[in-house]
Amino acid sequence: MRYSDYLNQVNVRHRTVSYNLLTSKSKSKDKGSLTPPKIELSAKQAFDLLAPYCSSRIMEQVKAVVPLAAYLMIFQILVLRHPIEAALILCLGLIAVIIGLAVFMEGLSTGLMPFGTIIGDNLPKKASMPVVLCIIGILGVGVTFAEPAIGALQAFGSSVDVNAAPYLYEILNNWTMPLVLMVGGGVGIAAILGTIRFVRGWSLKPMIYGALFPVVLLTIYAWLDPNLKSILGLAWDCGAVTTGPVTVPLVLSLGIGIANAAGKGNSSLSGFGVVTMASLFPILAVLVLAIFVSLTISPGEIIAAAKMSAITIQTEPSIWEKTPLVEIVLGVRAILPLVLFLMAVLFLVLKSSLPNRMITIYGLVLSIIGMCIFNIGLTYGLGAIGSQTGSVLPAAFMELPISQFSPIYPELVGLAIVIGFAFLLGFGATLAEPALNALGITVQNLTNGAFKKEMLMYSVASGVAIGIALGISKLVLGFDLMMVLLPLYGVGVLLTIISSEEFVNVAWDSAGVTTGPVTVPLVLAMGLGLGNAVSAVEGFGILSLASICPIIAVLTMGVVIRIMNKSQDSSTEDEIVSDALVKDQS
């Protein structure tokens, strides 16, 4: 290229400055003057830095929340022909969800995650194995409290009818603290077992069988008890709620650090399995709690107590129970114990200091603020739109007092529309989940490209979609959750037996990955709203079905791919042989 051509293509000014002029000169022997000074920024420069930082984080959450909320709203207006009530508050609530999640996730990665990494790297060197396991167990409880979606469980407790499901009402209203503690304890045990698994290099299969056995046993016990039956949906849903954006990375970073220190961290699969355990043990814990409650109080007492409190509650809620404050208290209560515990471990056990104090504290403050804003958004945004759509949904096929057009469609068409709606909701929500994309890439690398990323994403998404559709039809048609759930788990176990270890790891983890902080509250609220509208006993169970279906989907894909690979392997061998023959001839 000629220099004149080059000049024609260039439209910016150039100048050259010697770097020597910019670096500090050592005139005196003072070493301190050599370190570069702190950078002072003008407001404009600070804005240039802050604008992309904020917008990229908010856009990430907008992508997760807006399509789902828009889908629900458009469906409600166009198909169900029902106006959106309190649209302004709803939109403000959704904005609160977006901002809250963005702030919380940023706080998580700058504040909480460094703790996890430091503790995971250093703890095994300074403490004995039992101490390490103990700390991990307590951490499991802490992260469960900090999980954004767990607030959803507590928030929707009041919508349960005490007469139809006394124990469910009792646990959700008067035993919320023990409930979350038990779920946390389940996660803690799962984290301990997962870590031992990392270190010893155990296979996941026997652990799944071992964990499922007592779960199924207790489930059958509760199933046979007519009063306890209503708790099953909640118990199985708890497994899906726990494995969210706080638990998974924090527990994993600890576990992987410990496995590295023990010298067994080189397996490509060491990161998997904890999520599976963390979604099975809480089921067990909740069932144990329910059985404990059933032994202490009779249903009659609960109903009587509920009637009493219904009278007294109308006196006046204290200022702490009013809207902005109660969410803030919940938010602080969710994060603070975890932070205090992590700090205690860091300072007392490891005797080290914070890595980058100012940024870490900033991150911790962000995570608390984010949690509070998210809690407000949960009540007025996600929860409200979910329960609103859920309660209008049956208008498609049956007469509802709140909808003047109902029934809008003939019964069968309406049912098909509702189930199709649920299917699409699950499919879209899952594909949008960023964790699924990450899992897809891991799996693709793990299987050397045999299991394509898109293939995993679509099989998980269709699994979740089928699960949610099944869950909705369970509420609408009123069949028994366990009649579907237990056979599905049976199929899952059967497929686990014949699948290879890699696929078992991936498949069982994929269920936990798909249930993020946006999907869980939305689906829970929708289920409860729908349950109330069709006067089902309880609206839980959708999430549990949305957990097992992707497991089966991925396992099936794994088996299919292995069969295909086998036939392909033999054909590629043929090709190599024929290639060699061709070369010989030439």
Q: Which residues bind another protein (CB under 8 A)?
A: 1, 6, 9-10, 12, 36-39, 41, 45-46, 48-50, 52-53, 106, 110, 356, 358-359, 362-363
Q: Which is nearer to another protein, 49 or 129 (CB)?
A: 49
Phi-psi region at 268: left, alpha or beta (left = phi > 0; alpha = psi -120 to 50)? alpha
User: Least separation, in Å, of the C-beta of 48 and another protein?
Assistant: 5
Q: Which is nearer to another protein, 120 or 166 (CB)?
A: 120
Q: Which is nearer to another protein, 3 or 320 (CB)?
A: 3
Q: Which is nearer to another protein, 1 or 576 (CB)?
A: 1
User: Least separation, in Å, of the C-beta of 101 and another protein?
Assistant: 17
Task: Locate 75 and state its tokens.
Answer: 């469906």
Report the alpha-carbon distance of residue 283 to residue 235 in Å, rounded. 5
Q: Which is nearer to another protein, 52 or 130 (CB)?
A: 52
Q: Which is nearer to another protein, 39 or 224 (CB)?
A: 39
User: Least separation, in Å, of the C-beta of 339 and another protein?
Assistant: 18
Q: Which is nearer to another protein, 106 or 538 (CB)?
A: 106
User: Least separation, in Å, of the C-beta of 34 and another protein?
Assistant: 14
User: Least separation, in Å, of the C-beta of 23 and another protein?
Assistant: 13
Task: Locate 391 and state its tokens.
Answer: 């309660």
Cis peptide before 355 (omega within 30 of 0): no
Q: Which is nearer to another protein, 53 or 347 (CB)?
A: 53
Q: Which is nearer to another protein, 45 or 352 (CB)?
A: 45
For residue 114, CA distances in Å to 126, 255, 335, 355 come to 18, 14, 15, 8
Task: Locate 225 and state its tokens.
Answer: 């008890």
User: Least separation, in Å, of the C-beta of 65 and another protein?
Assistant: 21
User: Least separation, in Å, of the C-beta of 45 and another protein?
Assistant: 5
CB atoms within 10 A of CB 84: 18
Q: Which is nearer to another protein, 8 or 567 (CB)?
A: 8
For residue 315, CA distances in Å to 302, 308, 309, 312 come to 21, 12, 10, 6
Is residue 115 within 8 A of residue 346, CB to CB? The reply is yes
Q: Which is nearer to another protein, 202 or 362 (CB)?
A: 362
Is residue 523 within 8 A of residue 465, CB to CB? The reply is no
* 195 Cβ contact partners less than 8 Å away, ≥ 6 residues apart: 132, 133, 136, 254, 255, 258, 259, 274
Task: Locate 561 and state its tokens.
Answer: 């791919």
Report the alpha-carbon distance of residue 171 to residue 151 in Å, rounded. 15
Report the alpha-carbon distance of residue 507 to residue 411 in Å, rounded. 37
Report the alpha-carbon distance of residue 221 to residue 283 in Å, rounded. 14
3-class SS shares of the chain: helix, strand, coil, % to 5: 80, 0, 20
Report the alpha-carbon distance of residue 257 to residue 133 in Å, rounded. 13
- Largest pairwise CA distance in the chain: 97
| Burial readout 180-202 (b: 16 or more C-beta within 10 A, e: otherwise) | bbbbbbbbbbbbbbbbbbbbeee
